[in-house]
A and B are shown apart, each in its own frame.
Chain A
């Protein structure tokens, strides 16, 4: 099991080799059962101040929200349109 990470716009440039179609799979460390969305972002090298929106399994979440094995986590910087 692992966590699937999806990145948007400028955040993609911060993770070398990021593939937009497949996203990035990250496994938890041995003995780790969960992690916060913020800790996970730091682990892949994204500065927290760059993140404005976090979604876990398509639900609006926070950097402090807990992510478990098998979850899908998406990070976005400040974006808007309409």
Chain B
């Protein structure tokens, strides 16, 4: 019953296809990256007709496994010019899996200026002229809900995507039909915009979960996995109570909280923008605010919280740590309410909070926005939606902004901005930034675990020893987790509780009748990375691109006064299974 949905934006054909043999057993990131690598010419123009946009739920989507309804979005990135997999929560992943659609492959382009929306239900898929063109995500979804109802889920781009800005995201509705879960990174929203696709409406009615080969076995394994998640202090309690924002204080303390565009590793007003304060204000203000909120069905970690304004009205989802950081310490702003407003604007206009937030701090470094000036940032952010020159510049992300304002310190790798961990003070994640085929991305190999959080072992964050191996192993494991449809945060439990990985393998075997072992998970992760790296090589991105900007190797950062001191040759040993 599994099938692909192939959509051609030029001819408007929407065809369900049997899954070709070579894609058997793949889901999520494994599937999007394999399809992109096989079907997209690596030297194509990312915003042209030869690029394809692929959506794929994971292998455990729409099952009773906890936290398994994530969705992967793949394409050639207009930001990095390499392969991209950007990953999101929300409801559409589970809904597509329920309809048996393992991937949507969007090809070619509509006539420029035309906007279309894709209606998907159990037995049909068709493109119709969009009723929401020109609207940002929240208005667009509200109007679509009036038209299609509350039981559907929605995938949309805001005006940033329509403008094809290279930091544009794709929004996925959460359980309350708010478009605030995003495939944020790499400009995937610009690719959707280039195709003329404004929205996807998914009606899950009548869809049935894939029959399980061994129903009892699945149930037992799923229970074990749930137990691992609820018994681990991070996935069982910590993330629900404080969100990812809990990291503000710990990274400050560790000297790894990049401040004022990576010129210092500590922010004197860290407490004002911390997870502890967000938790306290959310509880005090009450109303529509919520501590412990899940962004998708089946989530038992519930990190996504809702932040209320002073009157208790919905203001934003809880910003992620990275968002708090880039609009906060990185931009010298310590006003939590204001940062939450920026977070909501990013969700509404449809841009990556990281690449745009980092761009704001970089614009400040170059004199384009006054340092720490919240009102000026607000104007610049509105400008993204209005299409002003400054709005378009920051909407294209950090690398573009750095060029326009002549900035010395532009924290990007392969055109994508660094997230919220200074690689001189958290060296393991620096290895990941430098080497992942995605461009700088903490989630690709989250070495903050062993460097800072004492999770999955301990590796001294200030030393080089063990960092390459740590990043390698995490990049491999992450590629597999992204393919199963699991939320990456399940990794905290997987790293510390041996039975968690065994339970995932048992669930896959029980669902599909496979005989996988833990080793196969490693092999799958390596295969995905090899595929992605090969695409990049064919796109002209060589090993020479696997390095950090030289200010990280030139300038020691306080308080530890360390530099990022890996040589290119050392970094090139990360993917040691790939023959040169």
Asked whether B458 is an interface residue with its Cβ less than 8 Å from the other chain, the reply is yes
Asked whether B242 is an interface residue with its Cβ less than 8 Å from the other chain, the reply is yes
How far does the alpha carbon of A52 sit from the alpha carbon of B244 in the complex, in Å? 17
Q: Which residues of B contact A20 (CB under 8 A)?
A: 271, 274, 276-277
Assuming the contacts A9-B241, A77-B233, asked whether A82 and B446 have C-beta atoms less than 8 A apart, the reply is yes
Task: Find out whether the CB atom of B559 lies under 8 angstroms from the CB atom of A58.
Answer: yes
Asked whether A37 is an interface residue with its Cβ less than 8 Å from the other chain, the reply is no
Asked whether A55 is an interface residue with its Cβ less than 8 Å from the other chain, the reply is yes
Q: Which residues of A contact B118 (CB under 8 A)?
A: none
Q: Which residues of A contact B446 (CB under 8 A)?
A: 82
Find B254's partner among A10, A12, A58, A80 (CB 8 Å cutoff).
A58
How far does the alpha carbon of A78 sit from the alpha carbon of B458 in the complex, in Å? 13
Q: How large is the interface on A (under 10, 10 to 19, 20 to 34, 35 or more residues)?
A: 20 to 34
Task: Find out whether the CB atom of A78 lies under 8 angstroms from the CB atom of B247.
Answer: no
Task: Find out whether the CB atom of A78 lies under 8 angstroms from the CB atom of B276.
Answer: no
Chain A 30-68 interface 0/1 with B at a Cβ cutoff of 8 Å (1 = within):
000000000000000000000011010011100000000
Task: Find out whether the CB atom of A77 lies under 8 angstroms from the CB atom of B250.
Answer: no
Task: Say how far A23's CB is from chain B's closest CB, in angstroms.
Answer: 10
Find A81's partner among B277, B303, B461 (CB 8 Å cutoff).
B303
Task: Say how far B329's CB is from chain A's closest CB, in angstroms.
Answer: 15
Task: Find out whether the CB atom of A79 lies under 8 angstroms from the CB atom of B458.
Answer: no
Asked whether B560 is an interface residue with its Cβ less than 8 Å from the other chain, the reply is yes
Task: Find out whether the CB atom of A79 lies under 8 angstroms from the CB atom of B489.
Answer: no
Task: Say how far A69's CB is from chain B's closest CB, in angstroms.
Answer: 19
Chain A 1-29 interface 0/1 with B at a Cβ cutoff of 8 Å (1 = within):
00000101110100000001100000000
Q: Which residues of B contact A21 (CB under 8 A)?
A: 271
Task: Find out whether the CB atom of A79 lies under 8 angstroms from the CB atom of B247.
Answer: yes
Task: Say how far B19's CB is from chain A's closest CB, in angstroms.
Answer: 32
Task: Find out whether the CB atom of A78 lies under 8 angstroms from the CB atom of B254.
Answer: no
Task: Find out whether the CB atom of A9 lies under 8 angstroms from the CB atom of B560.
Answer: no
Find B276's partner among A8, A59, A81 (CB 8 Å cutoff).
A8
Which stretch (B153-161, B390-398, B404-412, B447-455) binds chain A? B447-455
How far does the alpha carbon of A9 sit from the alpha carbon of B320 in the complex, in Å? 17
How far does the alpha carbon of A58 sit from the alpha carbon of B357 in the complex, in Å? 26
Find A80's partner among B277, B320, B449, B559 (CB 8 Å cutoff).
B449
Find B321's partner among A53, A55, A74, A82 (CB 8 Å cutoff).
A82
Task: Say how far A18's CB is from chain B's closest CB, in angstroms.
Answer: 11
A-B pairs under 8 A by CB, number: 92
Find A79's partner among B250, B266, B460 (CB 8 Å cutoff).
B250
How far does the alpha carbon of A80 sit from the alpha carbon of B238 in the complex, in Å? 7
Task: Find out whether the CB atom of A81 lies under 8 angstroms from the CB atom of B233.
Answer: no
Task: Say how far A66's CB is from chain B's closest CB, in angstroms.
Answer: 18
Task: Say how far B124's CB is from chain A's closest CB, in angstroms.
Answer: 39
Interface residues in B, total, Cβ within 8 A: 45
Assuming the contacts A21-B271, A77-B233, A79-B234, asked whether A55 and B253 have C-beta atoms less than 8 A apart, the reply is yes
Closest to A12 in B: B276
Task: Find out whether the CB atom of B454 lies under 8 angstroms from the CB atom of A81.
Answer: no
Task: Say how far B113's CB is from chain A's closest CB, in angstroms.
Answer: 40
Q: Considering residues A20, A60, A77, A78, which has the most beta carbons from chain B within 10 angstroms of its beta carbon?
A: A78
Task: Find out whether the CB atom of A8 lies under 8 angstroms from the CB atom of B448.
Answer: no
Q: Which residues of A contact B245 (CB under 8 A)?
A: 81
Task: Find out whether the CB atom of A53 lies under 8 angstroms from the CB atom of B255.
Answer: no
Task: Find out whether the CB atom of B254 lies under 8 angstroms from the CB atom of A82.
Answer: no
How far does the alpha carbon of A79 sit from the alpha carbon of B274 in the complex, in Å? 13
Asked whether B178 is an interface residue with its Cβ less than 8 Å from the other chain, the reply is no
Q: Which residues of A contact B275 (CB under 8 A)?
A: 9, 81
Assuming the contacts A9-B275, A9-B276, asked whether A76 and B233 have C-beta atoms less than 8 A apart, the reply is no
Task: Find out whether the CB atom of B276 lies under 8 angstroms from the CB atom of A53.
Answer: no
Residues of A with Cβ closer than 8 Å to B?
Answer: 6, 8-10, 12, 20-21, 52-53, 55, 58-60, 74, 76-82
Smallest CB-CB A-B distances: 7 pairs: A81-B244, A78-B233, A80-B234, A81-B247, A74-B253, A58-B255, A79-B246
Q: List 22 A-B contacts (CB under 8 A).
A: A8-B249, A9-B241, A9-B242, A9-B276, A20-B274, A58-B255, A58-B559, A60-B254, A60-B452, A60-B454, A76-B250, A77-B238, A78-B232, A78-B233, A78-B238, A80-B234, A80-B455, A81-B243, A81-B247, A81-B321, A82-B247, A82-B321
